[in-house]
Structure 1
Amino acid sequence: MISADDLRKEYGDFVAVEGSSFTVDDGDVFGIVGPNGAGKTTTLKMLAGLLDPTSGTAQVAGYDTAETEMRNDLGFLPEESPLYEEMTALSYLSFFADLYDVPGAVAEERIHETLDKLDLEHRERQIGDMSKGMKRKVAITRSLVNDPDVLIYDEPASGLDPLTTNYIIEFTEQLAKEGKTIVFSAHNLFHVESICDRVAIMADGEIIARGDLAELQDAHGETTYHVYTTVEVSDSVRENGQYRRIVESMDAVDETRTLAEEAGGDVIDIRTEESSLEEVFLNVAESRSHSEG
């Protein structure tokens, strides 16, 4: 389990993170989203024990983040992950396995199994000669050489081509199914929405909304109803030989039904549309902007 209690990080007079509190249950995937400068990376680095909080506390896998033992149960992937470019992928990963005292045969099997899942073929190639996507796969494999229970990933698919991005997102989903506890940040909210159990939205160093997608939709989203009719009614548009009217309440759905019947037609379909995480995020950000304005 991961827990953060009133985490705060100051750099002089600048507050990078203020009052962040959340928990992540074992086996859950927790996403942290927000604009650049929101405090996501600082929060993840405090969880990983790379930054000491100015105040507040955090625990990962039963350890305080200041305890060095915690890192044996943690895999951390920073947004920018410099690698030893003169080494091959296999020699680099074996080197890190040695640092964690992973037995040679276990390390070799684990490394190749992970690289197979990530579809990385050129394992004897020097890292400096690899593409950005290939380097990212090596960095992800490095985060798993010690078989950690908890993974903290900062923008795991940042700046990658769509194919590589899909490999990494699908691999992250697979890790979650295997029982890993994962915290990660991402700008692509579709990816966050597709794999996260719960999400925290950050802005200006603060968590301004949190919950699972249903909770966030209830609190900050909108539900619309797409009513399809056989005849034209007020505010409808023609689509594929039928008419679609978008309304925001069940009363308006009933009104549409009445209008269609009065025009000699019928309602043939009603589809409910919920706000996406991106729409929820924009609503939360807009609401915060108005409250501060």
Structure 2
Amino acid sequence: MIEARDLRKEYGGFAAVEGSTFSVEAGEVFGVIGPNGAGKTTTLKMLAGLIEPTSGSVSVAGYEAGETEMRYQLGFLPEESPLYEEMTARTYLHFFADLYDVPEDTAARRIHETLDELDLEHRDRQIGDMSKGMKRKVAIARSLINDPDVLIYDEPASGLDPLTTNYIIEFTSRLAEEGKTIVFSAHNLFHVESICDRVAIMSEGEIVAKGDLEQLQEEHGETTYHVYTTVEVPDSVAKNGRYHRAVETMAEVESIRESAQQAGGSVADIRTKESSLEEVFLNVAEDGRETRRRRRQGAEPEPEA
């Protein structure tokens, strides 16, 4: 549904995005995450055809990014979405329906159903008098007015209160269940983790890791085993009537088991903790910065042993 190949965008000789290659399948939710300045918004704008790549190519729903036909297949939500504040929500959405040549009766039904789903009651209030959360819902409804197959959302819940944020994330998840292909960025990695099928991690303009959460965990995360014994073993700490020690390998777990048995006790419990997406992201971003620092200094990273 989306194909990006060797995307590069320069501004005055500075590469805001460099060498980005990825694909998004139909019906998939694809997250793009990274620190501020990583190139996320520039990447999403290139996908949406709003800015032209310096080099590389993008296709969306079989069309080159920026083609008129592609725009009818796409709904785009920027992080900052200025609205026509003198209009009401209903009038505003009808205006955009006209721009997309949506028949009047279809537009009226679609607007009503979408605003119902978004739980927006004040449809005839001027947008300028609405709260930030209500305005964001209107902007989301605008992105759906042409019933697009592909949605590109840049920080859809940016700056909203927790209740509205959760509502919008749940709404985005429902859109995916309805078969929409969704690419979105977010700083709240818990939300990304909860609804994304795959994720690309960007750092300083480059995609430094991508895959599903299990792949990212396996390649870049860490697993910690919290072992609780009935007797004290080396390096353990007394905790709630038992003894606790955290280790990183099953061989160490087995060593603790043997030590407990030799001391006349046993392993009472083993709890496994895997890295969260946030922890994986921090590991990957730091590794990426170190690799590029060495590259700028003309030194290649030392090979792993």
Q: Which moved more, 1:6-15 or 1:146-155?
A: 6-15
Distance 2:98 2:49 in 1: 21
Q: How many aligned residue pairs are there?
A: 293
What TM-score do the two structures reach when normalised by structure 2?
0.92
The residue that corresponds to 1:116 in the other structure is: 116
Judge conservation of contact 2:203–2:289 (CA < 8 Å) in 1: no
1:40 paired with 2:43, answer no
Task: Map 1:1-293 to 2 at 5 A.
Answer: 1-291=1-291, 292=293
Q: Tell me by how many angstroms 1:239 deviates.
A: 4.1
Give the letter for the 1:49 counterpart: G
Cα deviation per residue 1:92-139 (whole Å; 9 max; x = unaligned)? 111111211222222222222222222211111110011111100110
CA separation of 1:238 and 1:86: change in aligned 2, threshold 3 A: farther
Cα deviation per residue 1:42-61 (whole Å; 9 max; x = unaligned)? 11001001001111100001
Give the letter for the 1:226 counterpart: H
Distance 1:244 1:134 in 2: 49
Q: Tell me by how many angstroms 1:89 deviates.
A: 0.8
Q: Which moved more, 1:229-238 or 1:198-207?
A: 229-238
Distance 1:290 1:39 in 2: 18
Q: Which moved more, 1:104-113 or 1:149-158?
A: 104-113
Q: Tell me by how many angstroms 1:249 deviates.
A: 0.3
Secondary structure, aligned partner of 1:259? helix
Distance 1:108 1:232 in 2: 71
Q: Which moved more, 1:232-241 or 1:249-258?
A: 232-241
Give the letter for the 1:143 counterpart: S
Distance 1:98 1:269 in 2: 63
Secondary structure, aligned partner of 1:160? coil
Cα deviation per residue 1:137-160 (whole Å; 9 max; x = unaligned)? 110010001110000000001111
What TM-score do the two structures reach when normalised by structure 1?
0.96
Distance 1:63 1:217 in 2: 34
Distance 1:212 1:193 in 2: 10
Q: Tell me by how many angstroms 1:238 deviates.
A: 4.1
Distance 2:159 2:235 in 1: 41
Judge conservation of contact 2:17–2:42 (CA < 8 Å) in 1: yes
